[in-house]
Structure 1
Amino acid sequence: MKKLLVLSMTLVTLIGCTSQKMMSIYHTQGVEITQNSSGDDIVNKYTTSLPFKTLHASLPICIAQELDNSPVVLTSENYFGSPWWYSYNLPSQQSITVNRGETIKLVEGKQVVANAVTDYQRNTKYFVSYTLTATRNQHSINYLFSNIKQAPQYTGSINDGFNNVKTEQRSRPDLVIEALNKEAIKIQSCLLK
């Protein structure tokens, strides 16, 4: 009986640890899914296009003003929490700073390439890094986000920085896409002011 109980608990734990794919991300317009070297499905690119009638500012200026590529501090605090119960951190002195570099990488004609980082909140803070290629067309700006990676602010006992965004529910690719949309909307609002 004891062995059966241990086996049942192990099975429940293993089932609870597996994460299902977020199927809605496969049907989200503009999202390109690919596989990483381990065979996991990841968000490879995301494209969105926002229309305009008249621009009142330049694309490079708005990108420089609205995007942030500051260094990110990731700590090795142990984060315990769940949407269903109290969350807390166990302090630790270990942290790493991920240096980000210049925001704007290239301005060529009607195209601007930039690197930036943003964040979203899900029980704890998550950082999202990306490369943006913004292209001005006749009546719209095309925003292509690539090299999309994320990192939780509190990474537990091992802190390995930014990783690809898997399509698993626990990776919350939907919140990553929402954060990227907010970045495009910030730039677009600046252009239209």
Structure 2
Amino acid sequence: MRKFIGLALVFTVLTGCVSQKMASIYQMEGVEITQNSSGTDILNKYSTSRAITTLHSSLSLCIAQELDNSPVVLTSENYFGSRWWSYYNMPSQQAITVSGGETIKLVEGNNVVANAVTDYQNYSKYFISYTLTATRNQNDIRYLFSNIKQAQQYTGSVVNDGFENVKTLQSAHPNLVIDALNKEVDKIQACLLR
């Protein structure tokens, strides 16, 4: 009986640690999902359009002003505590600086291509890097995000591997990644109307 209870407890803990796919991300409009080389579902692209009638600023100017492609520092640190109470970071030697660069890559006709980084918070800070292709049409602007990757700023005692593809697992927060990308679009749209 003790062995049965022990096995049941181990099974419960192990199945509780397995992250499930986020079903809602598969129904989200504009999200394109593909598989990486190991067969795991990842966010491949995300596109959205916003209506626009009057532009006070140019699209390339607003992208240059509102998006940021600064370098980010990713580290692994040992810490005490948990997400429910205060904790103390003890810096380690392992840190990765991911180089930024110019935001605007190309301006051609009604198209602007840019690289940028943004972030979101979910118990820890996550950075999202992406390539944006913005296309101005007669009545709207189409925003296409590709090369979407994310990295956790602090990974605790686990080695920080840097930017990786965004998996569709709940633990990877693909919904928060899409929310962060939509906030980037909101900033550009607000600039265009100023």
Please confirm whether the aligned pair reaches a TM-score higher than 0.5, indicating the same fold. yes
Comparing 86-95 with 47-56, greater Cα deviation is found at 86-95
- Tell me, what secondary structure is at the counterpart of 1:166? coil
CA distance in 1, matches of 2:99, 2:69: 9
State the SS of the aligned residue for 1:177: helix
CA offset digits 1:107-138 (Å, max 9, x no partner): 11100000000000100111011000000000
In structure 1, the residue corresponding to 2:46 is in which secondary structure? Answer: strand
CA distance, structure 2, for counterparts of residue 12 and residue 77 of structure 1:
29
Q: Percent of counterpart pairs with the same letter?
A: 68
Aligned to 1:91: 90
Cα–Cα, structure 1 residues 40 and 89, in superposed 2: closer, same or farther, change >3 Å? farther
Is 1:139 the counterpart of 2:136? The answer is no
CA contact (8 A) 1:81 1:123 kept: no
Q: Distance in 2 between matches of 1:16 and 1:38?
A: 23
In structure 2, runs of 5+ residues without a counterpart are none
What is the 5 A alignment of 1:84-123?
85-86=84-85, 88-93=87-92, 94-123=94-123
Output the CA distance in 1 between the equivalents of 2:78 and 2:171: 18
Structure 1 residue 8: deviation in Å?
A: 2.3
Please give the residue correspondences for 1:1-193 in structure 2 after superposition, counting only pairs within 5 Å. Answer: 1-78=1-78, 81-82=82-83, 85-86=84-85, 88-93=87-92, 94-156=94-156, 157-193=158-194
Gaps of 5+ in 1: none
Report which stretch shifted further, 32-41 or 3-12: 3-12
Structure 1 position 178, deviation (Å):
0.3
Residue identity in the other structure for 2:54: T
Contact 1:78 1:154 in 2 (8 A): no
TM-score relative to the length of structure 1: 0.94
SS in 2 for 1:47: strand
Number of positions where the alignment pairs a residue of Structure 1 with one of Structure 2: 191
Q: Which 4+ runs in 1 deviate beyond 4 A? A: none
Q: Give, in whole Å, the separation in 2 of the partners of 1:33 and 1:185.
A: 23
RMSD: 1.4
Structure 2 residue identity aligned to 1:41: D
| Displacement of 1:75 | 1.2
Per the TM alignment, residue 89 of structure 1 is displaced from its structure 2 partner at its CA by 4.4
The normalised TM-score by structure 2 is 0.93
Aligned partners of 1:108, 1:137: CA distance in 2, in Å? 13
Q: Tell me the distance in 2 between the aligned counterparts of 1:131 and 1:143.
A: 10
Residue type at the aligned position of 2:100: R
Identify which range, 62-71 or 92-101, moves more after superposition: 92-101
